[in-house]
A and B are shown apart, each in its own frame.
Chain A
């Protein structure tokens, strides 16, 4: 099993550009999450999904959109990137019976 994978690993965007981050998991988990991690702050939840076709807002959803068209994939979109969205983005899924958190390797995004 690959676990949780994220694409891309690094990206530099100019202000106003758009992009999509892809998270994929091969563990058949229902629950998936997108977090951002900034220096001096704990991980913060952007959006989450409790199953295919469902999404919900987390703590810091503004400027982001998500989609969960397939159970194994959770996409995070930035429609018009801003410097404040410079961060490291982590995707995670949660084991359905163990409740263990599985994290992807992260995507380092810089918006100039």
Chain B
């Protein structure tokens, strides 16, 4: 069983929809990262969480340490949000364990 599981693997949405991507992990962690990989391949960091909730623009990330679960929400989705979203867990500067990613496609 993978230590980091993301769901769904693929997601297609219509522009404007509210989107949720889930990440469950089975190891003890002190930090969880959400990353975005653009169609061209570049990877950018969206959030690092150790507890609670963070918001940046239309993106919201939550984490429940007791349940070992995190969610990434996108409000009012837009075609430019189309990308692969990757969850990674570990220590803030330690080695990370990565999920396989969720491929999101937002149709106009």
Q: In whole Å, how far is B4's beta carbon from the nearest beta carbon of chain A?
A: 7
Could you say which residues of chain A place their CB within 8 Å of the CB of B2? 42
Return B18 CB to nearest CB of chain A, in Å.
Answer: 26
CB of A54 closer than 8 Å to a CB of B:
no
Q: Which of B4, B31, B43 contacts A90 (CB 8 A)?
A: B43
Q: Are B92 and A105 in contact (CB under 8 A)?
A: no
Contact segment of A13-21, A43-51, A67-75:
A43-51
Number of interface residues of B (CB under 8 A): 22
A42 touches B86 (CB 8 A): yes
Is B96 interfacial (CB-CB < 8 Å)?
yes
**Closest approach, in angstroms, between the C-beta of B54 and any C-beta of chain A?**
12
Contact stretch, chosen from B64-72, B75-83, B98-106: B98-106
Contacts of A94 in B (CB 8 A): 92-93
CB pair A58 B98 closer than 8 Å: no
